[in-house]
Amino acid sequence: MLRIAACGILGLGAALLIAALLLTTYTSGKIEQIPLNIDNSLISDGTGTALDPASLSGERFVIDRDVPVVSQQQVSVESPSNADVVTLQVGTTVRRTDKQQDNGLLLAMVDTVTLNRQTAMAVSDDTHPGGSVQKPRSIEDTKPPTNVALPHDGLSYRFPFNTEKKTYPYFDPIAQRAFDANYEGEEDVNGLTTYRFTQNVGYDADGELVEPVKYASLYDNNEDSETTARAVQWGVEAADPEEPITMTRYYAAQRTFWVDPVSGVIVKAEEHANHYYSRDELRPEVTMADYTVTSNEETVESQVAAARDERDRIGLWSSVLPITFTAAGLIALVGGALLGSFSLRAESALIDPGEGESGGFFAGLGGRRAEDTGPMPAAEAETEKLPAQRPDLHPDPGPPDRR
């Protein structure tokens, strides 16, 4: 029984060491994947300058300054999503909080992208564009949304696991192409060490317009990329105030991301976006929306918590369990070897008790070797010899009878 128990413990130790090896090589790579249960609402707030939509039907476009602005992103997982890829659908709205419903809506977009779950890079090829956007709809529109294929490349809404201190391509769905996100340094966010990345779309490092992007319309007739209105409405000088002037909509942005380098979760974001109309791309004439928003405290706390959960999950499978299994496996191997050695000695002692003065392990239990048994002490004592009387062969007849 001891030998069987020893073999079982040795087998358990070997199994634990193999499990530890698999966790550090194969399983940890499978754990470092974008979750399939993402359902987040990310809110950023700030201020900006914005066109009053109500003035579009008036005599002159009205631009309001220092208006409160809120940006909201609703992130969810859609199909196709499996062991290798995850599809994120992100609905983004930017609105003025001092206006109601459509009058306060500055931007609305639904972007869908399929990402590699390990690298966070967009998955796109000739037959699978890897992304799409929905055509704009009004709040009252009840028709099903119409998707327009939009090939994505680079990162979207996340960074890769084990983010490095380098430049990554990060996709902008409004500009419809990727721009560099450059590593700038480390920064603490709510007790979490993060990597800070900055991205410029149409701006240079000094915040000057250098190459703004012509707004890519999602309407069939490009009605929101070029607009024609009277000079007096635009508020520009002209020989004839009623002269129709066509202006093009341009877009530029600056972003800062604070990224958890372990999980790739963006725990905080700041965005400066500038939408404007102009006849010269480098000389904005009429502002549509120029705002700066930053993740609010609730969003930062929830994203930091999500990053810590990812860290704990990765640490459990890649560090804690492998170390625990390795230690337990080594202890089991040593214990099994000792138990096996003891069982062999015990079996040998039962079959052939050991030599020596102690008579072996089981000598105290009454076992004696046959060759070691000598005469008992009582048999070695001297015996007193008593004289024996010899028989009288010629007895004396005694005196004669005188009767």
Residue 397 lies in a domain: no
Torsion of CA 237, 239, 240, 243, to 10 degrees: -70
Spatial CA neighbour of 362 closest among 347, 375, 377, 344: 347
Q: Are residues 204 and 335 in the same domain?
A: no
Range of the domain at 7: 1-29+305-344
Q: Which neighbouring-strand residues pair with 196?
A: 185, 258
- Shared domain check, 207 and 170: yes
Same domain, yes or no: 244 and 141: yes
Cβ neighbors of 210 (< 8 A, separation 6 or more) are: 202, 203, 204, 282
- Domain co-membership, 22 together with 35: no
Report in angstroms the alpha-carbon separations of 24 from 45, 264, 318.
42, 20, 6
401: three-class secondary structure by DSSP: coil
Q: How far is CA 303 from CA 265, 294, 348, in A?
A: 7, 14, 65
- Output the six-digit token pair for 165: 């201190």
- Bond from prior residue into 160 cis (ω within 30 degrees of 0): no
One domain, residues 262 and 312: no
Rounded CA-CA distance 66/153 in Å is 35
Determine, yes or no, domain membership for 353.
no
Give residue-wise pLDDT tens across range 347-385: 677 776 654 444 444 444 444 444 445 555 544 545 555
Instruction: Please indicate, yes or no, if residue 349 is contained in any of the structural domains.
Output: no
How far, in Å, are 102, 200, 224, 314, 401 from residue 171 at the CA level? Answer: 27, 12, 22, 27, 160
List Cα–Cα distances, 44 to 92, 270, 295, in angstroms. Answer: 11, 8, 4
- The values of phi and psi at residue 160, to 5°, are -70, 160
Beta-carbon contacts of 4 under 8 Å, excluding residues fewer than 6 positions away, are none
Q: Which residues make Cβ contacts (< 8 Å) with residue 201, sequence separation at least 6?
A: 172, 175, 179, 213, 251, 252, 253, 254, 255
Asked if residue 232 lies in contact with residue 245, where contact means CB atoms within 8 angstroms, the answer is no
Do residues 22 and 66 both lie within one domain? no
226 & 319 share domain: no
In terms of domains, do 154 and 192 share one?
A: yes
Model-level pTM?
0.76
Within a domain: 205: yes
In a domain, 245, yes or no: yes
Is 393 part of a structural domain of the chain? Answer: no
| End-to-end Cα distance, the chain | 99
312 and 196 assigned to the same domain: no
pLDDT in tens, the chain (403 residues): 766 776 777 777 677 777 767 666 666 667 889 999 999 999 999 999 999 988 888 889 999 999 999 999 999 999 989 989 999 999 999 999 998 877 888 998 999 999 999 999 999 777 677 899 988 766 666 777 788 889 999 999 999 999 999 999 999 999 999 999 999 999 999 999 999 999 999 999 999 999 999 998 877 777 778 889 999 999 988 888 899 999 999 999 999 999 999 999 999 999 999 999 999 999 999 999 999 999 999 999 999 999 999 888 877 666 666 677 688 777 877 776 776 677 667 667 777 665 444 444 444 444 444 444 555 554 454 555 555 555 555 555 555 554 4
**How many helices (H) and strands (E) in the chain?**
5, 14
Element (H, E) at 16: helix 2-22
Same domain as 149, residue 113: yes
Among left, alpha and beta (phi > 0; psi -120 to 50; other), residue 120 is left
Q: Which amino acid is at 297?
A: E
User: pLDDT, tens digit, for every residue of 324-345?
Assistant: 768 877 787 777 677 667 766 7
Strand 244-259 and strand 266-278: the pairing is antiparallel
Domain count, the chain: 2
Look at the block and give the residue holding tokens 């008579």.
Answer: 359
Same structural domain, 250 and 168 = yes
